């Protein structure tokens, strides 16, 4: 098949999943065309004859105060679909990608049998899409997609409730390549981060308010009162300055390392003893899955799809949003009990391999694509 994929190319779960999906499909012999305003962050690592990138060109004109990305993206989708003879376009994150895909399909006037798939990832539905100005067009664009998927049962139910959508939404969770994301043996990075055998706590995010990174820092402060430890914060975003300031105010800055955006996470996760994810909103929790694959137990909040990923008392612990004391208690329990920690680490890895391995999830997407391409009715739905 010839498949178009549109995603945000920046540091975030939806872009990571879309890129890894495209790479996996290319390995299976499909021709994959990425359509975005910049090269996706994880679309690196050498040339692949089945992967193509098409940049959405943005022009500036004094009349327009804001860039017109939605029509520019639709035009590029139309161009690629026509000249590359795409079978379908799969968009990740509904705003504005699903809208652009609908426009592109309409401009084709049904010729070529182009199908569109929309994958809902989280804040596109639970936060941004609920803005009154967006809600009607969001509902419309989702319903006009030939197939819709969500990364968790929570997100599927939230979408149906918030938008009153009767359309079938198939739950296809995020995935991880467990051949890449696996714990590496001790190396120089371990000695640089924790030269005296300190416990290493890791958090990875885009440093937005909903990630509650300040809660990570406060939990770490409690851990530090019980043992020698180091906190590694990976990523960047609007809350980073506040987090750096909080570390100074709590007088723990010397125990915290801000690494910024990092492409190679396996090396970092391989030195971690614990992963913290106290998010306010998390429809799946891809970085938590990647940690589990690297045998790192997770302590998280109980929001969204996290309870579908983390098995409480088996692969990690779950607490209410903002319950810093309970999260601290769970973290200290794991970090001071080697036998329990080893058991949780092993269970996390096994769950990642058994339920979320790349091949398992990509099979589901591939079956969906095949059904859509083989169907003749433009509004054909994929049933579970």
Max Cα–Cα distance, the chain, nearest Å:
66
Would you state the pLDDT for residue 127?
67
In what helix (H) or strand (E) does residue 11 lie, and over which residues does it extend? none
* Distance (Å, whole) CA 99 – CA 140: 9
C-beta neighbour count of 60 within 10 angstroms: 8
Task: Encode pLDDT of 317-331 as tens digits.
Answer: 999 999 999 999 999
Which distant-in-sequence residues (6+ apart) come within 8 Å of 211 by Cβ? Answer: 205, 237, 239, 279, 280
Domains of the chain, CATH where assigned: 2-175+358-374 (3.40.50.2000), 188-356 (3.40.50.2000)
Spatial strand order in the sheet of 115-120? 51-55, 31-36, 2-6, 88-92, 115-120, 147-150, 169-171
Would you state the pLDDT for residue 378?
46
Task: Show the low-confidence residues of the chain (pLDDT under 50).
Answer: 377-384
Residue 175, CA atoms < 13 Å, CB-side half-sphere:
24
Asked if residues 278 and 321 have their Cβ atoms less than 8 Å apart, the reply is: yes
Would you state the pLDDT for residue 66?
72
Q: At what angle do helices 135-144 and 94-107 cross, to 10 degrees?
A: 50
* Distance (Å, whole) CA 372 – CA 114: 9
Cα dihedral 8, 12, 13, 16, rounded to 10, equals 60
Task: Encode pLDDT of 204-255 as tens digits.
Answer: 999 999 999 999 999 999 999 999 999 999 999 999 999 999 999 999 999 9
Q: What is the pTM of this model?
A: 0.90
Would you state the pLDDT for residue 376?
55
Would you state the pLDDT for residue 384?
39
3-state secondary structure 34-75: EEECCCCCCCCCCCCCCEEEEECCCCCCCCCCCCCHHHHHHH
Would you state the pLDDT for residue 130?
62
Tokens standing for residue 383: 């049933």
* Distance (Å, whole) CA 298 – CA 50: 36
Q: Is 379 exposed, middle or buried (0-12, 13-18, 19+ CB in 10 A)?
A: exposed
Asked if residues 227 and 237 have their Cβ atoms less than 8 Å apart, the reply is: no
Task: Mark 143-173 as b/e (b = at least 16 C-beta within 10 Å).
Answer: bbbbbbbbbbebbbebbeeebebebebbbbb
């Amino acid at each position: 098949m010839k498949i178009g994929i549109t995603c945000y190319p920046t540091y975030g779960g939806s872009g990571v999943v879309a890129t890894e999906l495209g790479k996996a499909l290319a390995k299976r012999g499909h021709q994959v065309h990425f359509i975005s305003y910049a090269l996706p962050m994880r679309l690196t690592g050498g040339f692949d004859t089945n992967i193509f990138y098409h940049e959405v060109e943005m022009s500036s004109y004094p009349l327009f105060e804001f860039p017109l990305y939605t029509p520019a993206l639709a035009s590029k989708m139309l161009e690629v679909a026509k000249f590359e003879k795409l079978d379908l376009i799969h968009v990740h994150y509904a705003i504005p990608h699903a809208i652009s895909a609908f426009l592109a399909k309409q401009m084709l006037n049904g010729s070529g049998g182009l199908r569109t798939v929309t994958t809902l990832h989280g804040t596109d539905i639970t936060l941004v899409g609920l803005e009154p100005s967006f809600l009607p067009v969001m509902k419309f664009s989702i319903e006009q997609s030939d197939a819709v998927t969500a990364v968790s049962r929570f997100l599927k139910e939230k979408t149906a409730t918030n938008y009153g959508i009767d359309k079938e939404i198939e739950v296809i969770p995020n995935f991880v390549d467990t051949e890449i994301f696996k714990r590496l043996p001790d190396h120089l990075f371990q000695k640089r981060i924790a030269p005296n055998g300190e416990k290493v706590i890791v958090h990875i995010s885009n440093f937005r308010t909903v990630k509650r990174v300040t809660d990570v820092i406060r939990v770490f402060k409690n851990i530090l009162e019980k043992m020698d430890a180091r906190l590694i914060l990976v990523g960047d975003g609007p809350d980073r300055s506040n987090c750096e300031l909080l570390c100074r105010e709590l007088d723990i800055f010397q125990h915290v390392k801000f690494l910024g955006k990092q492409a190679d996470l396996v090396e970092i996760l391989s030195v971690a003893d614990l992963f913290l994810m106290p998010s306010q909103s998390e429809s799946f929790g891809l970085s938590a899955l990647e940690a589990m694959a690297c045998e790192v137990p997770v302590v998280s909040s109980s929001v969204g799809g996290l309870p579908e990923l983390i098995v409480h008392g088996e692969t990690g612990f779950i607490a209410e949003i903002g319950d810093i004391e309970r999260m601290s208690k769970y973290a200290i329990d794991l970090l001071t009990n080697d036998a329990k920690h080893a058991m949780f680490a092993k269970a996390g890895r096994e769950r990642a391999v058994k339920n979320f391995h790349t091949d398992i999830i990509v099979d589901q997407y591939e079956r969906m694509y095949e059904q859509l391409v083989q169907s003749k009715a433009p509004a054909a739905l994929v049933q579970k």
